[in-house]
Amino acid sequence: MGRTKELKFKSQYEILSFDTDYLGQAHLSALMNYLQDAARLHSIREGFSVFDLFKKGVTWVVSRYHLKVKRYPSLSEKIYVSTWASGKNSYFALRDYEVVDEKQAPILVATSSWMIIDLQSRRPVKVENLFPDELVLQERALEDDFPQLPAVEVLDHKAIFRVFFEDLDYNRHVNNVVYSRWALEGLPQEVLFSSRPEELEINYRAEAFYGDEIEVISQKPASPDGFWVQQVFNLASGKEVARVRSRWRRYEYFKDKQTE
C-alpha cells in the first residue's frame, strides 16, 4: 500500500474564473490543463520532465488521450488530481489520471499514451531504454489499448482555425490541449450550447506549428448516444494532425440558461 501511494502523485487545484464557461463550470480544456500540470509536477519529482529529457537530446510527446467525465466542476471548487505511470511497452509509456472533488466523489478518469522522440531526427526512441520499471504502477484508471480511431465518412460540419503563438508549448509545437479545443470549437453551435462532452478520445498524428491553418471536419453521430467523429488537417501540408471521437451528454439547464 505504501509503495502504491508513493508511485501516485496527487495535486490540488482550484477552478478559477478564466477556466470556466458562461455557466461557471470548467471547460474541458481547463481540466486537461490540470491533468497536464499534475503530470509535469510528477515528472519533475521523478527526474523525467521535459527539461530533464532535453539534456539528453530527447523530449516527451503525447500520442493518445482518452477521458471520461462524470461531471464538470464549478468556479471556486477544489479538485484533486492523482496521476501515475501505468505501463510501458517498446516506444510507448502510459500515464493514467483520476480526479475527485473535496468529498472524494469522482469527476473524471483518463488514460494517455506518450512517446519519447529525438529532438534532432524527430523520430521516436524506445521508452524502455530511458524509463525505469520501478516508476511504473500496473494500475489503470481507464482501460484502453488505443485502437485506431475511425475516419470521417460523411462530412456534416467543418471549421477552420489558425495556430496562435500562445498555442505553442515548450517543444515549440502546438500544445496537446489545444487539439481538444479545436475539436470542441469545430462542432456546430447547437451542440455546444446544449451539451457537454462526457467522453473524448484523441489520436495525435502529426505536429502543428505557429501560423499553420487548421481545418476540422466532423461527422455527426448515427444515434443520440453515439460518437462525433472528427479529423484535423494542416491545410498547408495536407497532413492529418489528429483524429478525435467524442460522445456528448445533453443537459436541460442549458435550455433554462438561454431563456433567462
pLDDT digit string (tens) for 219-242?
999 998 999 999 999 998 999 999
- Which residue has cell 484535423? 232
Residue type, 39: A
What mean pLDDT comes out for the span 34-63?
92
pLDDT at 55 over 60: yes
Whether 1-146 shares its CATH topology with 148-260 is answered: yes
pLDDT value of position 259: 47
Nearest CA-CA partner of 250 in 172, 209, 191, 203 = 191
Report phi then psi at 185, rounded to 5: -65, -20
pLDDT at 70 over 70: yes
CATH topology of domain 148-260: Thiol Ester Dehydrase; Chain A (3.10.129)
pTM exceeds 0.85? yes
pLDDT value of position 252: 66
185-221 as b/e, with b when 16 or more CB fall inside 10 Å?
ebbeeebbebbbbbbbbbbbeebbeeebebbbbbbee
What mean pLDDT comes out for the span 131-160?
95
Write down the CATH superfamily of domain 1-146. Answer: Hotdog Thioesterase (3.10.129.10)
DSSP tag of 259: T
pLDDT value of position 6: 85
Q: What percent of the chain has pLDDT over 70?
A: 95
What mean pLDDT comes out for the span 123-138?
86
Residue boundaries of the structural domains of the chain:
1-146, 148-260
Which tens digit of pLDDT belongs to each residue from 77-102?
A: 999 999 999 999 889 999 999 999 99
Q: Which residues pair with residue 14 across a beta bridge?
A: 78
pLDDT value of position 254: 54
